[in-house]
Structure 1
């Protein structure tokens, strides 16, 4: 198994990705792309294969970055003396490649630079096409390496689009009905945690394999998370189960914590779990519930809280739920102070804000 490469912490993984996407020099863009993949725990060998690089050259790029930072990635070859690549594909052949990329390759796997190079060889009859040229043509076709966004297969695109369009209108309606009140749009979800271990990748010294002691037991508690994406403010509740009775208590506590009432309306976006829509709900004054379309977790900002909440629990085992709850409670206190990080994670571009609603509706969302 390939060892994980070491990268100096000059730039975060997101910053490396930004450098890769924004670099105007093709050589530098490819180097940043390689470093970004390595920052995602890819081995140098695997990243080099995807990029169409020679393994030794890929190692040299990582070495120069570790020793010189951003200066080590600069393309020092004089622009005027660079050898121009001859086009391997005609315009019609390039269109054929774009069509081919829409379906799996011949081996029914995933497209990579080397596989595109092999496709070009068959298409053109050229005896040898370097793997790097396959990567070049992926870029030329406007492709980039991305992790797919999860989406439930039963989700309805039209309903989801309508929800995003109507949410600002719901805020405006509440403002008209309560002209002297402040409106805030929050998101809410529940997260099950327990004595079944959570395994996640972590940084570890080179040559030392991390060990996670595990013991599968099926005892659970639930973390109720409320987030105000615009400001990153959060409210957390650790509850033994999910049902209407507990949800009523949580809503009462939330109303007190946020000051919901006549002068402050809290609009909460949540899924359609049966205890969220029960006729036995006791909704406090100042709290308004807005359900999401079915099978639409990608529209739920609170879903993104769990990767942060889980961090102190991963790769660990606990004697009982009391021990887990103690650690989780401390984590929630810390998360309550991480407003900028949480806002950056949860404030979707379509989430209602004053600019979207116009100056005629002075809504705090």
Structure 2
């Protein structure tokens, strides 16, 4: 009969029946079922087997070929497809990871897309970048700590190591010479008023605190002020600079 399979099945009907009962997945059950149907003579051709198990004829042919070459073990071995290679390779991820370790980070996932294209020559969709960075690399947007444009992280670290913090601060009060005269206690301070760069959240790795570099505008002005805590009276004068000349005028 044309199409009749000539595969020699070594296992007995009883052995195949026991194997059927042990299978835990539909795929492995169908493969043993194909041998079982051929062994008991219920089907004769590969096409008949394909119809009964609900698989394509070429799929059943591949099963039987694996059985002929490697027996039951080969029949039940499932080869996983490698699939498409990742758009962002492991090597590129390692380089991106170094960038995310920096406290400056990235301003947005779109900026990461631009970095990938400019530095690595990779065209990746927003979704691919977001899923890779946010969920696989565990990096997310965070509110940065604002620092000046002249900020030096190494200098800050060195200062923290060498600076001495006084254990206590003593307050000194000068008593008036003439007790008939009233002494008024005023507190003074200076403050710079101006606008700074608008900065949103930054993307950095988990555990890396972001730092937002701020560019201050040059048209700032300074407020010099005095206030008497007892009465609430105050005096404020606007100056262009914070220097000795302005202090003397004030």
* TM-score, L = length of structure 1: 0.21
* TM-score, L = length of structure 2: 0.28
Report which of the two has the higher share of helix: 1
